Amino acid sequence: MKSTTVITLGALIDQCGGELFGSPEISVSGIAPLADATPQQISFLSNSKLRKQAASSQAAALIVTQADHAELQHQYAGAFIVCANPYVYF
């Protein structure tokens, strides 16, 4: 039987750092690309050219830079983890 690891965004921030915008109680159980992410997964934006795709992502949370957060905060409904380098964080 396959086991799934579930972590809250609050616990992820405690372990990895970053600034959380959203509920620390949101749970995620996986990672996925922006277009494929489900509400139980987290994704990241490392290329600002993909902001439109990020805005429509179904991910529970996005890992983004401060600049991308400023651009997406009113377009994307999920939580954000803001950090200096989303690719490295991911």
pTM of the model: 0.92
Per-residue model confidence as pLDDT tens digits over 69-85: 999 999 999 999 999 99
Residues 32, 29: Cα–Cα separation, whole Å: 10
Q: Which amino acid appears at position 26 of this protein?
A: I
* Contact criterion met (CB below 8 Å) for 24 and 9: yes
Residues 24, 40: Cα–Cα separation, whole Å: 14
Residues 43-61 have a mean pLDDT of 96
Tokens 């277009």 correspond to what residue? 35
Per-residue model confidence as pLDDT tens digits over 6-32: 999 999 999 999 999 999 999 999 999
